[in-house]
Amino acid sequence: MPNMKAKSVENIKAANLLIEHDMFAASIHCSYYSCFQLSKYSLSTYYNIDYTKQDIESKGKDAHAFVINELADKLDTIRHFAFIDYNSFMGSLKKLRKKADYSAKRISEKEACEAKLKAEKVINLLTTNLTK
């Protein structure tokens, strides 16, 4: 399994373990990064946008915007509803990740479980809509 995809799988497993051990903020971080890493892998594998180009295009204020927007646009050419769902789930995950990583506010178990569920939906969406 390629490294970026393996990292994605590891992060979703970690999110589950962290929730089981009441580490909700860290679980949200892992849920988000599982999807982000799978997005990077998808751009590289299915659209020949290598990691170096992704990194170059991602420099600046919102480092993840290029990957997310580029993949969303690619999904829109396949299935518009996949585009809508991907944008919605990734937007929610990104917002929760910012709260978990940068805010002093507490992360609830409900938020952690919602993030994991959204991450699983993104993973399923990408694995069912993108094939070689």
**Mean pLDDT, rounded, for 106-128:** 97
- Tally DSSP H helices, then E strands, for the chain: 6, 0
For 9-64, write each residue's pLDDT tens digit: 999 999 999 999 999 999 999 999 999 999 999 999 999 999 999 998 888 768 89
Domain CATH number, residue 117: 1.20.120.330
* pLDDT of 132 above 70: no
Total count of domains within the chain? 1
Distance CA 16, CA 28 (A): 10
Other Cβ atoms within 10 Å of 11 Cβ, number = 21
| Residues ≥6 apart with Cβ < 8 Å to 41 | 2, 4, 5, 8
**Domain extent at residue 7:** 3-129
